[in-house]
Amino acid sequence: MFLEDLFIVTEDQNFYEHAGVDITGISRALLVNSQNNDLEQGGSITQQLARNVYLTHDRTYNRKLSELYYAYQLERKKSKSEIIELYMNAIYFHNGAYGIEAASQFYFSKPTAELSKAELSFLAAIPNNPELYNPLKHFDKTKKRQERILKQMVAEGKLKQNEYKKLVKETIKLDLSTTIDLYPDYVTYVHQELKNLVASSDGLTKSLQSSDEATRQQAEVELNKSVEKLLNSGVTIHTALDTKLQTQSKTAVQSKIGVNDIEGATVVIQHHTHELVSLIGGKDYKKNSFNRAYQSYRQPGSAIKPLLDYAPYIEETNADITQLVSGASYCSNSYCPKNYSGDSYGMVTLKSAFAQSYNTPAIRIFEKTGIEKSFKYLDSFNFKKVSIKDHHISSSIGGFEFGMSPLELTNAYTSFNDGSYQPARAIIKVTDQKGNVLYSWKDKPKKIWNRDTVSKMRQLLHEVTVNGTARKAYFPTDYIGGKTGTTNDVKDIWFVGLTANYTTGVWIGKDTPSNLQSIYSSTPHVLIWKDINQTSK
């Protein structure tokens, strides 16, 4: 009862008398609004609950009328005790704490039931202006407001004078909880993406990429200040995280790699929405450590063939997947790459060459398309570390200077869903305490492949899972297809593939590249992919 009284006394003294709308409060609000041209002043606890839970915070009279209607309906369908409980569980206490119980756990590391009256009133001081009364930054201001609230309680007959004196003298000692982050891989990436989003929206991206070091440093300082201010204002970051997929991905990586120095990373993108729904940065990832899913750049091996060899060739020539190409030995200026088996093949179909991941046919169609033309398609995917230095024949089978991250490569494969490319995003939007959208991505899809090319590529990718190098990935579903990749000396192994809803990439390797032959035959990359997607189908 004491906790309820704290909010009723400060927010809605007529709470138990009105039917959802405080006429006195509205009259006061109308006066303030007319003076300040503000539509947010005033409102009963029930109105505030309706606003926070059911409505947007648009500053329009239509929204105000909707608020009154919802408040009236709440009062008809719920008791006063239910309304005040819902209200206390919905309001914001800063530092990511929504609701009194979350605030109690965050600031005092114990449940609300164990708080003293002084601690309860201290927490009640925060929601009126979470930024101003943020205890971590403005403890003294929060304490002074607590004392004013207790004084109001005395004036309203809810607290005796002698108890008031006792409570205001009680020392408030914060005991911040150490929260357990269940999804550190994804959260770490969200923090990075938030910086990219703010930089893009605030026009800092170009300066951050400047060749002038002083310009870059200044832009970085401005960006960090903007992000810090944004986070301290009590924003909500809405993400696309699928917790079930994230948990399943982590379990799959840990179970298939085992206890050794071999690492893994996975990326899952819902390709219809271009949302990044899961990201694993390592088998035992710790928050803010090196995230292999987006910070590690590795050779792609044959996983690059769909993007650099086959799709550009089909797009340019309209070739059928039954077209023949030579799988014989290849040499050019002393560069003599071999097929993985070491064998030389005769004429083979594109379908067979792709499914079995032969190297020499891939090189030949890459040459027919032309190096520059092939790379023009690849450039559409904005691989950060692919440069003009990579414009050579060996790139057609994965021989890049630096390579690409699992996130980049998986994102590029989403183009085999409908022919278009759009960066996958973890952040859907960033809103303030009132629900107003402050930041959101403005990406638009870019067409890469025509419909026929997509159809043929999907057939090729499917063949890999039924008759090719990734047969262990197959399970009955609406669509399944993908491509394996293995680098020289088996230092990196990949599988990137699509189902009806998701594009998923799996990378396995060591942080200091070395041979993975000991686990290669057990195809952990393919089995991890299957574990993730068979569960999510």
Residues β-bridged to residue 298:
404
User: Is 528:252 a contact under the CB 8 Å cutoff?
Assistant: yes
Could you tell me the two tokens for 10? 């400060």
Q: What is the rounded CA–CA span in Å between residue 105 and residue 115?
A: 10
The contacts of residue 180 (CB under 8 Å, 6+ apart) are: none
Residues β-bridged to residue 502:
270
User: Is 345:358 a contact under the CB 8 Å cutoff?
Assistant: yes
Q: For residue 426, how many other CB atoms are within 10 A of its CB?
A: 24
Q: What is the rounded CA–CA span in Å between residue 297 and residue 307?
A: 17
Could you tell me the two tokens for 188? 């770490």
Q: What is the rounded CA–CA span in Å between residue 204 and residue 168?
A: 47
User: Residue holding tokens 């179909």?
Assistant: 349
Q: Select from 255, 275, 252 the least CA-distant residue to 266.
A: 252
The contacts of residue 535 (CB under 8 Å, 6+ apart) are: 244, 245, 248
Helices 371-379, 359-369: axis angle to 10 degrees equals: 90
Residues β-bridged to residue 423:
none
Residues β-bridged to residue 429:
238
User: Is 299:403 a contact under the CB 8 Å cutoff?
Assistant: yes
Q: Select from 329, 327, 328, 324 the least CA-distant residue to 349.
A: 324
SS3 category, 412 = helix
Q: What is the rounded CA–CA span in Å between residue 446 and residue 97?
A: 39
User: Is 202:223 a contact under the CB 8 Å cutoff?
Assistant: yes
Q: What is the rounded CA–CA span in Å between residue 291 and residue 193?
A: 13
Q: Please give the torsion angle defined by the CA atoms of residues 452, 458, 459 and 460, in that order, rounded to the nearest 10 degrees.
A: 110
The contacts of residue 210 (CB under 8 Å, 6+ apart) are: 216, 219
User: Is 304:410 a contact under the CB 8 Å cutoff?
Assistant: no
SS3 category, 156 = coil
Q: Select from 65, 63, 69, 71 the least CA-distant residue to 20.
A: 71
One-letter amino acid for residue 225 of the chain: K
Could you tell me the two tokens for 517? 């032959």
Rg (CA), the chain: 30
- Give the residue numbers marked as catalytic: 11, 302
If you ran DSSP here, which 8-state letter would residue 499 be given? E
